[in-house]
Amino acid sequence: MITHAPTGRLRAATAALLLSALLVGCAGAAGAPSEAPSADPAPSASPSPSPSPSGTPQADAGVIDTTSWQEFATDDGSIAFRYPADWALEAESERFAPDEGRDDVDDPFVRWMDSATLTAPNGQQLLQMTDFIDIGGTCGDVSEPVEVLATETGAGTALADASATSIATVALGTVDDRWRVGVGITGDEWLDATETCAISFVLGSSDGGVSIGTHFELAAGGEDALWTVDTLDDARAYMETAEYATILEILRSVEVA
């Protein structure tokens, strides 16, 4: 089987990890990254040469200064979160009225749909949020392995049954025998599967439901070059970067009504 190099930002993170491991024999182990994300495709600080066996990211051991972070909240207050001042946020609120203009509906459906995206200084859109979600469809014949690489307690409750949520880092096998990485808040029931075709980063809110993470739906099929890697080691290498630690800190700040 031909082995492809990791794509996007994950390729750079893996290369930094390999270089750091080569330098250990001469100068001792490299420290965990302590700098904020840079404008380069990968942080300038070298990641630790050996990922944590437990899946707990060593990059998270450093302190991220959030004193200058900005705050975003939807107009109805269904979700709020904080983000770095040098990340670009684009948000919009759109009126959704499918029954507008109909005279055969006594109680027309009208609501506002809120969405937002967060783009890092390197120009890559890394997080997205929407409070109007629709989960449906079936996997058909597609079923790929799932590896839960790290979890911690998340905000709110699960969309389906009001159980717990987790901030989860997940690797989902792809149809071409690679791995697709996703980070977001999801109901714990989504993390129980050993095989699936997709994982949704969704949770409940006063508005019915909300999604926040690197993906709304992490899928085994289709194209997703930014988040696709060759091996689980490549995924764990990304978990050692300051960019990953910043994503975690944003998700930890999430509050839902």
Q: Calculate mean pLDDT across residues 208-214.
A: 91
Whole-number Cα distances in Å, 22 to 6, 26, 46: 19, 8, 12
Q: What is the pLDDT of residues 57-66, one digit of tens each?
A: 444 445 799 9
Residue 157: inside a domain: yes
75 lies in some domain: yes
Does 229 map to a domain?
yes
Q: What are phi and psi of 61, to 5 degrees?
A: -70, -25
Would residue 65 count as lying in a domain?
Answer: no
| pLDDT of 4 strictly over 70 | no
How much is the mean pLDDT over the chain? 78
Q: Which residue range forms the structural domain that includes residue 186?
A: 70-99+109-134+141-256
Indicate whether 11 belongs to any domain. Answer: no
- The structural domain count of the chain equals 1
Residue 81 predicted with pLDDT over 50: yes
Please report whether residue 43 resides in a domain.
no
Among 58-62, 147-151, 155-159, whose mean pLDDT is lowest? 58-62
Eight-class DSSP state of 227:
G
Q: What is the pLDDT of residues 94-147, one digit of tens each?
A: 777 767 778 887 887 767 789 999 999 999 999 999 987 767 666 667 789 999
In angstroms, the CA 179 to CA 224 distance is 10
Q: Is residue 189 part of a domain?
A: yes
Asked, for residue 58, whether it belongs to a domain, the answer is no
Q: Counting beta carbons within 10 angstroms of the beta carbon of residue 38, is it exposed (0 to 12), middle (13 to 18) or buried (19 or more)? A: middle
pLDDT in tens, 40-75: 444 333 333 333 333 344 444 457 999 999 999 998
Q: What is the SS3 assignment for 176-196?
A: CCCEEEEEEEEEHHHHCCCEE
- Please report where in the chains the tokens 């990211």 appear, as a residue: 57
The predicted model scores a pTM of: 0.72
